[in-house]
Amino acid sequence: MNNLIKVTILSIGLLSGTSVFANTPTEQLGTCLVDTLNGKERKNLAKWIYFSIGSHPEMKPFMKATDADIQESDEFVGKLITKILVEDCPKELHTANKSDPLAIQKAFELVGQVAMQELMTNQDTMNAITNYITYTDQDKINAILSQ
């Protein structure tokens, strides 16, 4: 599966908003982290993800963010993560980390999904991410799926 299709599937999957966790300490941490974020913070997290992806050598030629933009974004996210882990969700962090060594990673995957949802719900973004359909041979795909 090529990377464009993977990214599209992932992006569309982000819109579903479904959680892969049961009612575990990890889910409770993820929920706490997400619940503490406001819309501006989610957008800034999405911007940080965008900048991070843009640092890839194959993406860098398309990146217009300056070093100052990236540093500002890194600083914002660093302070935000410290705040939500230390001030907003310390009990959930402690409990989740004791129950699952990957709890923080899993919880922040949920945070990333929610941050991207903030952008994916924009109609212009949805139009851009689905423009490839014009060039997709749906009949050939459907023929394989109907076998």
Percent residues over pLDDT 90 in the chain? 67
Q: In the prediction, which pLDDT does 117 show?
A: 84
* pTM of the model as a whole: 0.72
- Residue in the block written with tokens 């600083």: 75
Instruction: Using the predicted structure, report yes or no on whether residue 127 has a pLDDT greater than 80.
Output: yes
pLDDT of res. 114: 87
d(CA 122, CA 126): 6
Task: Give CA–CA dist 121/84, Å, rounded.
Answer: 24
| Range in 53-67, 73-87, 107-121 the model is least confident about | 107-121
CA end-to-end span of the chain: 19
Residue 31 has pLDDT above 80, yes or no: yes
Average pLDDT over residues 86-114: 93
Angle formed by the axes of helices 103-120 and 25-36, to 10°? Answer: 40
Q: Are 114 and 34 in contact (CB under 8 A)?
A: yes
pLDDT above 80 (res 19): no
| Predicted local distance difference test score (pLDDT) of residue 118 | 80
Q: Residue 15: CB partners within 8 Å, gap ≥ 6?
A: 117, 120, 121
Q: What is the pLDDT of residue 22?
A: 52
pLDDT of 10:
45
Q: What is the dihedral of CA 37, 38, 40, 41, to 10 degrees?
A: -10
Domain map of the chain by residue range? 22-119
Contact by Cβ (8 Å): 115, 46: yes
Q: What is the mean pLDDT of residues 68-79?
A: 97
List of residues 6+ apart from 4 with CB closer than 8 A: 132
